[in-house]
Structure 1
Amino acid sequence: MTVDISQTSVDDRYVIFFDIDNTLYSASSKISQAMGERIHAYFLSLGLEEERATELHHKYYTEYGLALRGLVRHHEIDPLDFDKKCDGSLPLEEMIKPDPHLRQLLQDIDRSKARVWALTNAYKTHAHRVLRILGVDDLIEGVIFCDYGNPKFSCKPEPQFYLDAMQKAAVSDPKKIFFIDDSRNNVAAAAALGWGSCVHFCEAGLETVEGGKAKQISADGKEPLPGAIVVGRLEELRSVWSEVFKTTEDGSAKK
Structure 2
Amino acid sequence: MSPDTPNEDPRSIVWFDIDNTLYSASAKISQAMAQRIHAYFVDLGLDEDEASELHHAYYTQYGLALRGLMRHHDIDPMDFDQKCDGTLPLDDLIKPDPRLRKLFQDLDRTKVRVWALTNAYKNHAQRVLKILNLEDQIEGLVYCDYQQIGFTCKPEPDYYHNAMKEANVSDPSKCYFIDDSQRNVTSAKELGWGHCVHFCEVGMEIMDGGKTKQLVRNTNDNDPESIPQITDLEELRTLWSEIFV
TM > 0.5: yes
Matched residue, 2:83? 85
Q: Post-superposition shift, 1:222?
A: 7.3
Q: Partners in 2 of 1:72 and 1:221 — Cα distance? A: 37
Structure 2 length normalisation: TM-score? 0.95
Match runs of 1:71-220 below 5 Å: 71-219=69-217
SS of the counterpart of 2:228?
strand
Q: Post-superposition shift, 1:9?
A: 3.2
Structure 1 length normalisation: TM-score? 0.91
Q: Give, as a single letter, the amino acid of the residue that structure 2 aligns with 1:24.
A: L
Q: Give, as a single letter, the amino acid of the residue that structure 1 aligns with 2:15.
A: F
Q: Post-superposition shift, 1:85?
A: 0.3
What CA deviation, in whole Å up to 9, does each residue of 1:52-100 have, x standing for no partner? 1110111111122211111111111111110100000000000001111
Match runs of 1:13-32 below 5 Å: 13-32=11-30
Runs of 5+ consecutive residues of structure 2 not aligned to the other structure: none
**Which has the larger displacement, 212-221 or 113-122?**
212-221
Q: Give, as a single letter, the amino acid of the residue that structure 2 aligns with 1:114.
A: V
Matched residue, 2:242? 243
Q: 1:141 to 1:38 in 2, by over 3 A?
A: same
Q: Partners in 2 of 1:239 and 1:231 — Cα distance? A: 11
Matched residue, 2:230? 231
Q: Post-superposition shift, 1:163?
A: 0.4
Q: Post-superposition shift, 1:226?
A: 3.7
User: Which of 19, 24, 46 is the matching residue for 1:48?
Assistant: 46
Name the % identity.
60
Q: Partners in 1 of 2:126 and 2:100 — Cα distance? A: 16
Q: Post-superposition shift, 1:28?
A: 0.3
Q: Which runs of 4+ in 1 moved over 4 A?
A: 4-7, 220-225
Q: Give, as a single letter, the amino acid of the residue that structure 2 aligns with 1:228.
A: I
Q: Give, as a single letter, the amino acid of the residue that structure 2 aligns with 1:31.
A: I
